[in-house]
Structure 1
Amino acid sequence: MQSAKLSAALRPEECSYRLPEMTLILPVTVHPMLPQVQYDLPCWVRSYITDVAGMDLEEWLNTGFELWTCHAYPHAREDRLLRMTRYAVAVTVADDETTRKNAPFGGSSAYAKAAVRVWEDMLHGRQATPAEAPAWWQLMGDAWNDLCQDMSDGLRERFLADQCRILRRSVTEVEIREQGNELELEDYMDLRRDTIYGAVCWHLAEYGLGIDLTEEFSRHPDELGAVWQDANDHLIVVNDLFSFRKEWFVEQDTSLNASSILRRNKGLTVQQLVNRYADRAAELERSYVQKCVEITTTSWGNTPRMHAYLREIGHIMAATLHFSRFTSRYHAVGFLWNGITDATVTMLPERTLISPNHRTRPNYRTPYLYRSPFTSADGS
């Protein structure tokens, strides 16, 4: 007999929890073009749209997506970083428009299916953006066209295939919400490994470094696929760890997040979920590094471009965790992270509060000081 489902509802006493210090090993750094990107990106976005899924554009821009790109791709070519940032922001706009129930795509699977068919034609260059389409469609189409103007054929083909698969899987998310279905954890993880947009992140790393690993992915899909899975799972876990407030108070969505699934199926408290996610994030970092070591000790993996690619994916993982600590996307407009990494977090409908756990001076250890696991003993 199937056991009764437990409630995923948030209890008042669970609005505060201990965020533990995580034993992280992946480094955070930043691209030197950050000031230029911070100037360019808001101006570019404002030239296309005035809101994102009903949210005021200025509030949306306050989330700091340009910071994420510069932390995630610190070694990207300077002539490509702006285009990468624009495309990363364009797919984030798409993600918000396709997941929020108050938006046309997020609220109707029929609309979503028709939209994806048009988008696939747009991305493949088979048609222009329809004149009657929402303004953000043009933003996404232009960002893609700019990005791929000097992209190698092999990378562009793989990038397109994964981007279109993500869009189709986004339709699946809409259908699940529309039908009120509840996924098991493994089914949820399988879906989110696509819709977390990890493949876009990893392809952008290749593009930013000016390399094309099509041959390596063709010859060694299992080894590189295992790297991708650790990296994708890290993005999912970090999102689930820091998005509690957004999920419960802003989106009020209990259908498509691991926290709700684990609360319904296992009765986990918020503190138990936080501990689980924090431990898993640290575990995934070490698993990722170990897989990188195994790859770079092979004849095909011990190359400068493979070393650079794997190092950059590590930066993306670290940047996403760092970004999740401070972004108003999770913690409300105007939120300023105080640098504390071992804290008591209080979730309120209007904002997040972070207070130190220490009775004495709080630990202000900054992620910028983490030493890269890919760095040799002499620092080279």
Structure 2
Amino acid sequence: MASTTCRPSSTAGSRSRLPPSPAPFSGCANRPCRWAPRVWQRYARTLHEFLDACHAERGLIDSRAVLDLPTYEYHRHRSIGECCLPLLEFALDTDLTDRLDELPELRRLNVLVARHWIGVNDVFSYRKELYSGDTMNEIHLALADNGGNLQAAVDRIAAIVHRVETEFDNLTTTLRAGAAGQDSSLRAYLDALEAMIAGNLEWSYLTPRYNGRGHTWNGQKDTTAILTPTAPSTCHTPTPRPRHQWPPTPIELANTALPRTG
């Protein structure tokens, strides 16, 4: 485990030369996508912010800048994938722009989804990122605050994730019980947000990106991860460091379970 706890060509000939596409995407390659204009505008804006944040993060990593939590959260909320939220509206064939203007609770839910993604990502990806030199991880910030206690750092992130889940559940319950809950499009969006949170967490348990080639999740949410350069490699993990650069002892820590939400 990673840590403790088209745009198609307009000619038929060109299209025929494209590699086979998975079924869910083959339709997109053969017909135009119809976006609600305001959803498209929000998607384009958040996608631009995503790319800008990725560029900024690369600069921070290369400069070995010491970050505080507000700076980290500012960049990560933009780079974690908030552009997926307008995409979700597109997938549901709805436009919630007016609802987002009217309902601060809905805007807050979008923030909470992104914050949940950040926490889950940083726990599961820490091992991979530790040995690839990627310091844009909240565990690094927690370690700097607590004097290097890795388990305490992981516990801190897990606690944030649990608080986010509690607030998310309370807000969705409130919205469903109120007048806004009579809107079928809004209810479908709330259901989809829950599925996105749960799906991201399940993917984190399953993916070889964090868990190594050939990994098969056994369904257990509690385990021990050994953070050493000899951990299972992934397609994104560089050549292990020379032995003289290894930590003095393996770091073992108990995984804090992150329960599925939704």
TM-score using structure 2 length: 0.75
Matched-pair identity in %? 24
* Distance 1:226-1:233 versus aligned 2 partners, 3 A rule: same
- What does 1:365-376 correspond to in 2, within 5 Å? 372=262
* 1:246 is the counterpart of 2:188: no
* Distance 1:155-1:149 versus aligned 2 partners, 3 A rule: same
Stretches of structure 2 lacking an aligned partner (at least 5 in a row): 6-17, 234-253
* Distance 1:17-1:271 versus aligned 2 partners, 3 A rule: farther
For residue 153 of structure 2, what is the aligned residue in structure 1? 273
Using the TM superposition, give the Cα deviation of residue 194 of structure 1 relative to its aligned residue in structure 2, in angstroms: 0.6
Residue 50 of structure 2 contacts residue 83 of structure 2 at CA under 8 Å; is this kept in 1?
A: no
RMSD of aligned alpha carbons: 3.2
- What is the rounded CA distance, in whole Å, between the counterparts of 1:180 and 1:257 in structure 2? 13
For residue 248 of structure 2, what is the aligned residue in structure 1? none
Question: Partner of 2:179: helix, strand, or coil?
Answer: coil
Question: Partner of 1:243: helix, strand, or coil?
Answer: helix
Residue 17 of structure 1 contacts residue 271 of structure 1 at CA under 8 Å; is this kept in 2?
A: no
- What is the rounded CA distance, in whole Å, between the counterparts of 1:331 and 1:272 in structure 2? 22
Deviations along 1:100-140, whole A, 9 cap, x unmatched? xxxxxxxxxxxxxxxxxxxxxxxxxxxxxxxxxxxxxxxxx
Residue 196 of structure 1 contacts residue 232 of structure 1 at CA under 8 Å; is this kept in 2?
A: yes
Using the TM superposition, give the Cα deviation of residue 261 of structure 1 relative to its aligned residue in structure 2, in angstroms: 1.6
Using the TM superposition, give the Cα deviation of residue 322 of structure 1 relative to its aligned residue in structure 2, in angstroms: 0.8
* Distance 1:182-1:310 versus aligned 2 partners, 3 A rule: same
Using the TM superposition, give the Cα deviation of residue 309 of structure 1 relative to its aligned residue in structure 2, in angstroms: 0.2
* 1:335 is the counterpart of 2:219: no
- What is the rounded CA distance, in whole Å, between the counterparts of 1:17 and 1:167 in structure 2? 26
Deviations along 1:59-111, whole A, 9 cap, x unmatched? xxxxxxx9xxxxxxxxxxxxxx824xx9xxxxxxxxxxxxxxxxxxxxxxxxx
Residue 139 of structure 2 contacts residue 153 of structure 2 at CA under 8 Å; is this kept in 1?
A: yes
- What is the rounded CA distance, in whole Å, between the counterparts of 1:218 and 1:351 in structure 2? 47
Deviations along 1:345-370, whole A, 9 cap, x unmatched? 223434359xxx8xxxxxxxxx8xx7
- What is the rounded CA distance, in whole Å, between the counterparts of 1:258 and 1:169 in structure 2? 16
> 2:52 pairs with 155, 168, 179, which one?
168
User: AA paired with 1:201?
Assistant: C
Residue 120 of structure 2 contacts residue 201 of structure 2 at CA under 8 Å; is this kept in 1?
A: yes
* 1:322 is the counterpart of 2:206: no
User: AA paired with 1:324?
Assistant: S
Which structure's relative contact order is higher, taking Cα pairs within 8 Å and 6+ residues apart? 1
* Distance 1:167-1:274 versus aligned 2 partners, 3 A rule: same
Question: Partner of 1:345: helix, strand, or coil?
Answer: strand
User: AA paired with 1:82?
Assistant: P
* 1:200 is the counterpart of 2:200: no
For residue 143 of structure 2, what is the aligned residue in structure 1? 263
Using the TM superposition, give the Cα deviation of residue 324 of structure 1 relative to its aligned residue in structure 2, in angstroms: 0.6
- What is the rounded CA distance, in whole Å, between the counterparts of 2:171 and 2:53 in structure 1? 27
Stretches of structure 1 lacking an aligned partner (at least 5 in a row): 1-14, 20-45, 49-65, 67-80, 87-142, 358-366, 373-380
Using the TM superposition, give the Cα deviation of residue 164 of structure 1 relative to its aligned residue in structure 2, in angstroms: 1.1
For residue 243 of structure 2, what is the aligned residue in structure 1? none
- What is the rounded CA distance, in whole Å, between the counterparts of 2:58 and 2:32 in structure 1? 29
Q: Which runs of 4+ in 1 moved over 6 A?
A: 145-148
Using the TM superposition, give the Cα deviation of residue 159 of structure 1 relative to its aligned residue in structure 2, in angstroms: 0.9
Residue 332 of structure 1 contacts residue 352 of structure 1 at CA under 8 Å; is this kept in 2?
A: yes
* Distance 1:371-1:146 versus aligned 2 partners, 3 A rule: same
- What is the rounded CA distance, in whole Å, between the counterparts of 1:226 and 1:195 in structure 2? 17
Q: How many residues end up aligned between the 2 structures? A: 226
Deviations along 1:156-179, whole A, 9 cap, x unmatched? 111111111211222221222233
> 2:38 pairs with 135, 154, 176, which one?
154
Using the TM superposition, give the Cα deviation of residue 319 of structure 1 relative to its aligned residue in structure 2, in angstroms: 0.8
> 1:300 pairs with 161, 180, 184, which one?
180
- What is the rounded CA distance, in whole Å, between the counterparts of 2:43 and 2:3 in structure 1? 39
